[in-house]
Amino acid sequence: MAPRIGLVLGGGGAKGAFTVGALKVVRQLLGAESFPVISGTSTGSLIGTLLAIDDWTTLVDIYSNVTTADIVNPHHALVASIAGPEAVLFAAAVLGGRAIYDTAALRATIQSNVDMRDVVAAHPGTLLIYNTVDLQTGQVATFDNRTHSARVLLDALLASASMPVLMDPVPIAVDGQTHQYVDGGVREFLPLGAVFASDVPLDRILAISTAPLDAKKQAGSFDKITDILGRTVDLMDVEVGANDYGGAQLYNAILQMIANAEAAGLPKAALLRGIPADVRPRIKDKAAFPITIIAPKDHLDLDSLDFDPAKMRAAMNLGVEAAKLALGQSGLT
Amino acid sequence: MTIRLPLVHRDRAGLAALLAIAACCSPKPTPYVADVDATAIVKQSTSDAFTAFLDRSADADALRAFDAGIAAAHDRNQLTSAWRRVPSLAAKGSDFLEQHVFAVAAREHRWPKDAPAAALEQAFVDGVRAGAAAFLEGH
């Protein structure tokens, strides 16, 4: 019987090709074409969507062939072509725009390849969770195919992939209130928390990150404000990803310790003594899962919005190798 | 009376005009539409199965022998027979193609379940050939 795997798919735009490569191996070696729960952020949400409905060949086709123009286009193409995307950032700041790039192409590409009603119908087989950040509350906000309609899920998928400043926030009305939502990677690069919170019975969590969990070393001076900004965002991303994984490991360790203590005959009441009431629900009746992480050894030679088919295919091959290595080291093959 | 706009306002007005022109010139995006049919699905599951379980260098000769053996194949039974005739491939499982290629392909979302049986058998044959070639070429 195939293991029950909770899948966590991190963000990274075009680097999602690495994730697709890793999944080729995961699906075949573990015999797992379906997953009880998939939690995605950004490009991981798009990958999770096609995986949830088992439209695998479409998924590989997209991450092998799309170009940047199929995903985003500068809001002001002429300005961008004359002075580069940085000029659009300046123009947006002066004129009150919300982003450098327009995501109409991404929305159209999603709608042309996925019927979101199929995504809703994929539950209860697969609980698909999109991770976003609510700009108004500042909190991580999740949308899933158990709770939300096809229309809301389409907006949430777009929001989950909308890197702030680069792409427009997406307004979504929930319970009569419209908030703006952006890429969940702002707060959760590797969205493990949603899987723990889902209460779906699992044997293991498999997390696929499109970047190593340490910062890329970059020699040389940063002399342009945009380069410094880019570098800062990269470092913050690394920190968020490392915290996601480190936090999940710690959480898992606590759950395992509770299970060990219970097995040794210690009563549950004694184990929870002194634990604050607001924390108790997060550990009471929860189970620890082994976590396997698949990540590239080195940072990929690919920027998030660099949807270059040749580079994406190279990243896909790296994903294959990384998955074989990680699954072998975890004793799963 | 002449109204003098502060410099920043005049610059903004000029920039706004430029951007308005630029917006008019921006092409409407055309979506990317994946080209997926039964043959493409089998090709993908073949390539994935070989990627996961075979070694591109060590198994190259065996795959070429398999490819030669399916030149005249018309259905899945003939593909499976050809697989079993190559000892190093048969060692990976006599039902390897059924388990890792045919069954996986037939579960996919876009698999044309209602297509005529003969057309599907042809898709299996064409897809396995194309998948084996793609694997050997490193795709």
Confidence of residue A90 (pLDDT cuts 50, 70, 90): confident
- Searching chain A, which residue's CA lies closest to the CA of residue B27? A77
Q: Report the gap between the CA of A43 and the closest CA in chain B (Å).
A: 16
Q: What is the pLDDT of residues A1-48, one digit of tens each?
A: 678 899 999 999 999 999 999 999 999 988 766 799 999 999 999 999
d(CA A54, CA B109): 5
Interface test with B, best of A46, A50, A53, A56 (most B CBs within 10 A): A56
Give per-residue pLDDT as tens, A147-156. Answer: 999 999 999 9
pLDDT at position B18 is 54
Is B15 near chain A, with CB under 8 Å? yes
- Hey, is the C-beta of A293 within 8 angstroms of any chain B C-beta? no
Q: What is the CA radius of gyration of chain A?
A: 20
Q: Does A168 touch chain B (CB under 8 A)?
A: no
Q: Is B31 on the interface with A (CB under 8 A)?
A: yes
Cβ contact A111–B31 (<8 Å)? yes
Q: Which of A79, A91, A108 sits opposite B31 (nearest CB)?
A: A108
Average pLDDT over residues A85-109: 79
Per-residue pLDDT band for A266 (boundaries 50, 70, 90) equals confident
User: How much is the average pLDDT of A178-192?
Assistant: 91
Q: Is A52's pLDDT higher than 90?
A: yes
Q: Which of A24, A54, A102 sits opposite B51 (nearest CB)?
A: A24
Judged by CB atoms within 8 Å, which residues 26-65 of A form the interface with B? 27-29, 33, 53-58, 60-62, 65
| A115 or A276, which is more confident | A115
8 Å CB contact between A70 and A105: yes
The model's confidence at residue A224, banded by pLDDT at 50, 70 and 90, is: confident
Candidate from B16, B21, B40 with C-beta closest to A57: B40
Q: How deeply is A309 buried, as exposed, middle or buried, from its count of CB atoms within 10 A (0-12, 13-18, 19+)?
A: middle
> Phi, psi (5° rounding) for residue A141?
-125, 130
pLDDT of residue B25: 53
A104 contacts on B by Cβ (under 8 Å)? 28-29
On chain B, the residues whose CB falls within 8 A of the CB of A94 are 12, 15
Instruction: Give the nearest partner residue to B48 out of A27, A55, A105, using CB atoms.
Output: A27
More confident residue, A56 or B136: A56
* Spatial distance between the Cα atoms of A32 and A26, rounded to a whole number of angstroms: 7
pLDDT at B20: 53
- The residues, any chain, with a CB within 8 Å of residue A225's CB and separated by 6 or more, are none
Mean pLDDT of the residues in chain A = 88
Q: What is the pTM of this model?
A: 0.87
